[in-house]
Chain A
Amino acid sequence: EAGVTQSPTHLIKTRGQQATLRCSPISGHTSVYWYQQALGLGLQFLLWYDEGEERNRGNFPPRFSGRQFPNYSSELNVNALELEDSALYLCASSLITSGWETQYFGPGTRLLVL
């Protein structure tokens, strides 16, 4: 069974540009989560999508947005990029097993803003 996939693996942008990151969940998973992992910092929750709807949002400005498609894949868009947006962006999908939920992560997209 294929795991969570993310594309691209690396992305280089300049300040003010827009970045689009993509995620495909594990087959059968309907929830997708996005996290930001900046250098030296832990993982920060960004967004949660389930059944095509945004269900929860972390403490990030509105220029971080996304969507979930009917096939449950997801896109994260970051507008008006700033230097501090440089980070590893991790996507996870989840399955509730035996009454509890485990999030499974993809390999991440490394975004560098110059």
Chain B
Amino acid sequence: AQKITQTQPGMFVQEKEAVTLDCTYDTSDQSYGLFWYKQPSSGEMIFLIYQGSYDEQNATEGRYSLNFQKARKSANLVISASQLGDSAMYFCAMSPNAGGTSYGKLTFGQGTILTVHP
């Protein structure tokens, strides 16, 4: 079974500063994918970034980067130059297969609420 743990219920950051959201995972699978999603108050889940277990380089997508440390089983999200619009709930998730189908499901963490102050 796969498990995702997000230990920060809430985080605060000043506008234009960087922030790191923590995510640790547990799996016995050798092949898996890690995802981050953003959920604004409207409820829609917005895909941000992906990291495959076999990817040697950390994924980046604009202001988002994923700090992947396989030995520590962590996949932290780094948001650079925070903006007010970044205030939202952030979910870390994993799928059991990095090379194809996820067999139908993602396993999600409990989420971290990020608040960006002006």
Residues of A that sit less than 8 Å from B by CB: 31, 33, 41-43, 45, 48, 50, 55-56, 58, 88, 90, 92, 94, 96, 99-108, 110
Contact = CB atoms under 8 A, between A and B. Distances in A.
Interface string B75-118: 00000000000000001010101111111111111110000000
Interface string B1-20: 00000000000000000000
A104 B103 contact: no
A56 B103 contact: yes
A104 B106 contact: no
A94 B47 CA distance: 11
- Main SS class of interface, B: loop
Interface of B: 33, 35, 37, 42-47, 50, 52, 91, 93, 95, 97-111
B110 A42 contact: yes
A96 B95 CA distance: 13
Nearest to B110: A42
Nearest to B109: A42
A100 B43 contact: no
Given A88-B43, A90-B45, A100-B50, A42 B105 contact: no
7 contacts: A31-B104, A43-B45, A96-B100, A102-B47, A103-B47, A103-B106, A107-B42
A39 to B, nearest CB: 12
A99 B100 contact: yes
